[in-house]
Structure 1
Amino acid sequence: MNAYEVLKERGFIEQLTHEDEIKALFEKGGVTFYIGIDPTADSLHVGHFLTVMAMAHMQQCGNRPICLMGGGTGMIGDPSGKADMRKMMTVETIDQNVACIKNQLSRFINFDDGSAIIVNNADWLRNLNYIEFLRDVGVHFTVNRMLAADCFKTRMDKEAGLSFLEFNYMIMQGYDFLELYNRHNCIMQLGGSDQWSNILAGVRLIRSKLGKSAYGMTFKLLTNSDGVKMGKTVGGAVWLDPKKTTPYDFYQYWRNVGDKDVEKCLALLTFLPMDEVRRLGALQDSEINQAKEVLAFELTKIVHGEVEATKAQEAARALFGKGAIAGSVPTTELPAADLADGMDILTLLTTIGVVPSRSEGRRAVQQGGVKIGEQPVSDAEFKITANLFTDGKLLVQKGKKTFHNVVLK
C-alpha cells in the first residue's frame, strides 16, 4: 500500500488540496513533505502525536519527512483555534523548547542518512527585512481572502479582536512552505484540520510566485465520540515527556478511553495491522477492556519503550487487584518532618498533584472518592500522620483510576 492508501484506511485524512494529483504522487513515492511544530512547550503532547504517527507512516512508505521547528513563528503564535492571544515567549524559552522537541522526535522518525531532516524557521524568519518581505511575499496575499479564514473570523467576533501580530502568522507559515520548497524541494505540507487555511496559504504562494505545483493535506483532530479533543486530564495535557506525564499515567489515560473511541485510537495511534484493529474494535461489553489494554500497552511502548509499557501494565493490573508495585506508579517523596504535626488531606492531595486545587480535593473527599491506604476518607480536615505509612509508604487513591504512592524520606 502507498502512503495515501495507508492514511486513508487508518482514518487520518480530512482534506486534500488536489486529491487526484496527490494520489498519483504517492503511487510513485519519494514525496518530500513537511509538518510544522510550534515550540509552545518543552515537550510534544498527545495532540502532536497524531501528526507524528502520520509522518512515521509516510516515511515507512518511502517518503521523506521534514520536521519544521517553529523557532520563528513561535515568536508570534498561531491564532488557529485560540480565543485569546497566546502568551509571548522569550527567544531563550523558544530555543530551549525546540531543543527538547528535536530530541523527542528522534524516537519516532528515522533521521539516518538524510531519510528525514529537522529544520528551524528561525533561520529565515528572525532576520527578515520587513520591506523586502512585504514586496516579495505580502503582494501574493489578499486581505479579503485572509479574513475569510475560519481562524481569523472566529477571533474577529471576539471583543479583544485579532492583533496585527497574529494576522501575520498565516503569511509567515506560507513563507515557510516557500522556503522549504526552494531549499529542499518540499512539495507538500501536512497538519491538523485546524491548519487548513494556513496550509492553503502556502500552496497558493508557491503556485502564484513560482508557478510550481504544491499540495496540502490535513488530518482529523484527535477527538472522542462526543467531538471533544482528547489528551486532556484534570491535571492538564497528556505529554510525551515522562517527567511531565509518567508512563503509568500515560498508560492509564489510554486504558480508560471510552468504548466508542478504542478502534479509532488503535488505528490512528498504533502500528497494529488494520485487521487486528477492527477485530479489537468489534469486541463488546466487558471484552472491550482487552482492546483497551492493547491500546494502552502499544501506545505506551511506542512513546516510552517496551520496558516502561510492561511496568505500567503490571502496575495497573496489580492496583486493581488490591496490590501496588512500588516505583511503577507515580511516586512523591515527602520529608517525614512535614508530617510531624499532621498534614491535612487537602494539602497532601494538592502537593502530590492528585488534584489541581484544594476545592477540587474537598469535593473529591466529600463525595467519598478518596482513599488513604485503601481506607475511605470523608473528612476534609483529616490529618495524615507518619503512623499511617507502612514501611514508609502510603498509597493514595482518587476515584477508581488515579493512584499515587507517597514515600517518606
Structure 2
Amino acid sequence: MANFDILEDLKWRGAINQETDPEGLRKYLEEHDDFALYCGTDPTGDSLHIGHLIPFMILKRFQLAGYKPVIIIGGGTGSIGDPSGRSTERVLQSEATIHENEEKLTAQMVKLFGTENFKIVNNREWLGKMSLLAFLRDYGKLFQINNMLNKEVVASRLENGISFTEFSYQILQAIDFYILNRDHGVQMQIGGADQWGNITAGIDLIHRLEGQERPAFGLTIPLMLKADGTKFGKSAGGAVWLDPEKTSPYEFYQFWINQDDRDVVKYLKYFTFLSHEEIDELAEKVKTEPWKREAQKRLAEEVTKFVHGEAGLDEAKTITKALFSGNVKSLTTKQVENALAKAPSADSTSEPKNLVDFLVDAKIESSKRQAREDIKNGAIYINGDRVQDVDFVVDPAAAFDGKFVIVRKGKKKYTLVHVK
C-alpha cells in the first residue's frame, strides 16, 4: 500500500471532476496493494498532443505513488471512431494507417511511463477476434437502448444523426473495461469529462457479469479552460504535439513559458510533479514578482523535461538563450530550423548579394532608402553580427550549411531567409 494519499493530492491539484464511488475507492486503496487503473487512447493520429496529456498525467501520478497504470492503445475502437466531442461522423482510416499510428503512440507512452510497473495493451487483441454473433449475444443483450440514448455523448449527436457504428462505441469501451478488470486486475478507468458515459457503461457491464461486489471505479478529469475561457491545448499555430518532429522541444518549451499569470499556478499543479510547498512558493512569486516569470520558467522546464527528457530541455533552453541574446551563431542548422520555424520567412538564391538589395528583395525593408537608414543606424544583424556597412555583401553559403540566412531587425524581429 502506498503511504501517499493520492486522492487528497488530486483534489488539491484540482484534478478530479466526477467519481463513481469516492468512499469505496478510498477504502479499496487503504486495504489493497494491487490497485491498477487504466486510460485509453485511439490511434486516430500519429502523435498525442498536450490535450491528450491531461488524463495521462493522472495515470503517471498513480504510477509514482506505487500503483499500476495500464494504457489501452485502441486499435479496435480506433477503427470505428469515438463519437465524443464530435458533431459529425469521423472519417475512418485505413488499417495500415491505424497500425502505423499504434506503433508511434506506443513508443510515446513508453517514453512517458518507462517499462517498469506499467503495461500497454491493444484492444484489437480481444475486439478483433470477436464475432458479430458473440458481440450481440454476450454483450449487446446486456445494454438497454434507452439507457444508451441517455448518455450525453449520444444524446448530443441525435439531432444531426449518429451511425450504428459510432453508437456502438460505448459498448466496445465497456467491454475493454470488463476485459481489463477480469484478465488484468484493473479496478478503475480514468478519462476526460466527455468519457463519463462510457466509463459508467463499463462499470455496469462488470457488475452485471461479475456481481455487484466486484471492485470497479471511474474517475473523470475536469475540462481544462484557460483564464480567457478558451479551451486549453492549442497555440496560435495549432496543436502542440508530443512528437518532437511535429512540435520541436523549443516550440514546446515556448508554449509553456508564455502562459498567462492567471493560469500558470493551475498548470503547475496539474502538469508538474513539484511538491505542494514548491508550487505554493511559486504562486507567491506570481503575486509579488510577476515580471520575473519564475513560475512560467519552472513550468516550462518541468513539462519539457517530462516529455522530451533532459536533452530536449537543454536544446530548448539553448535556443531560447541564443535568440534572446542575439547570439544565433552558436546554433546548429537544425536548431535554426526549429527555432525560427514560425518566424517570418523569405527566399533567396545562393548568389552573393549586396545587403541593401538583399533586404529589399526579401521584403524585410520596404525600400532601399529605408534599408540604408536601418543599416547605418545599426538595426540590421546578419547571422548574429551587426552590419552597418551599406556595401556589405551577403554570402548565403557563409553559415548554416548554406541553407539559411538569419536576418534580425531591431531587438527581436527575426526573418529566416531560405537559400534555394
TM value normalised by structure 2:
0.80
Look up the match of 1:267. 269
**Aligned pairs (5 A) from 1:29-44:** 29-44=33-48
Look up the match of 2:279. 277
Deviation at 1:233, TM superposition (A): 2.2
Given that 1:83 and 1:155 are in contact with CA atoms closer than 8 Å, whether structure 2 keeps it comes out as yes
Deviation at 1:252, TM superposition (A): 0.5
Look up the match of 1:364. none
Look up the match of 2:195. 195
Given that 2:347 and 2:362 are in contact with CA atoms closer than 8 Å, whether structure 1 keeps it comes out as no
Look up the match of 1:366. none
Deviation at 1:387, TM superposition (A): 4.1
Deviation at 1:306, TM superposition (A): 1.6
CA distance in 2, matches of 1:168, 1:30: 32
CA distance in 1, matches of 2:61, 2:55: 10
Deviations 1:97-133 (A, max 9, x none): 1111111111221323xx2111100011123211221
Q: Aligned in 2, Cα 1:320/1:340: closer, same or farther, shift over 3 Å? A: closer
**What is the one-letter code of the residue matched to 1:87?**
V
- What runs of 5+ residues in structure 2 fail to find an aligned partner? 365-378, 383-392
**Aligned pairs (5 A) from 1:9-408:** 9-28=12-31, 29-112=33-116, 115-158=117-160, 161-211=161-211, 212-282=214-284, 283-284=286-287, 286-287=290-291, 289-324=293-328, 325-327=330-332, 328-329=335-336, 330=338, 337=349, 387=394, 391=399, 392=402, 393-395=404-406, 405-406=416-417, 408=419
Q: Aligned in 2, Cα 1:128/1:316: closer, same or farther, shift over 3 Å? A: same
CA distance in 2, matches of 1:27, 1:210: 23
Deviations 1:8-54 (A, max 9, x none): 22221111000001111222443111111111111111012122221
- What runs of 5+ residues in structure 1 fail to find an aligned partner? 350-371, 376-385
Q: Aligned in 2, Cα 1:401/1:141: closer, same or farther, shift over 3 Å? A: farther
Query: How many residues in Structure 1 have an aligned counterpart in Structure 2?
Result: 372
CA distance in 2, matches of 1:311, 1:388: 27
CA distance in 2, matches of 1:44, 1:276: 29
CA distance in 2, matches of 1:233, 1:260: 17
CA distance in 2, matches of 1:237, 1:42: 13
Which SS does the other structure have where 1:68 is aligned?
strand
Given that 2:352 and 2:395 are in contact with CA atoms closer than 8 Å, whether structure 1 keeps it comes out as no
Given that 1:46 and 1:239 are in contact with CA atoms closer than 8 Å, whether structure 2 keeps it comes out as yes
Deviations 1:63-114 (A, max 9, x none): 11111110000011111111222221111111111111111111221323xx
CA distance in 1, matches of 2:203, 2:49: 27
**Which has the greater radius of gyration?**
2
Which SS does the other structure have where 1:155 is aligned?
coil
Look up the match of 1:363. none
> Relative to structure 2, which stretch is displaced further, 217-226 or 289-298?
217-226
Q: Aligned in 2, Cα 1:396/1:205: closer, same or farther, shift over 3 Å? A: farther
Given that 1:326 and 1:405 are in contact with CA atoms closer than 8 Å, whether structure 2 keeps it comes out as no
CA distance in 1, matches of 2:413, 2:77: 38
Look up the match of 1:360. none
> Relative to structure 2, which stretch is displaced further, 121-130 or 277-286?
277-286
Which SS does the other structure have where 2:17 is aligned?
strand
Which SS does the other structure have where 2:156 is aligned?
helix
Which SS does the other structure have where 1:106 is aligned?
helix
Deviation at 1:143, TM superposition (A): 1.4
Q: Aligned in 2, Cα 1:291/1:203: closer, same or farther, shift over 3 Å? A: same
Deviations 1:295-321 (A, max 9, x none): 111111111112321231232233233
Which SS does the other structure have where 1:252 is aligned?
helix
CA distance in 2, matches of 1:92, 1:135: 30
Q: Aligned in 2, Cα 1:209/1:316: closer, same or farther, shift over 3 Å? A: same
Deviation at 1:151, TM superposition (A): 1.1
CA distance in 2, matches of 1:49, 1:200: 22
**What is the one-letter code of the residue matched to 2:88?**
D
Deviation at 1:222, TM superposition (A): 3.2
User: What percent of counterpart residues are identical?
Assistant: 38
> Relative to structure 2, which stretch is displaced further, 66-75 or 101-110?
101-110
**What is the one-letter code of the residue matched to 1:38?**
D
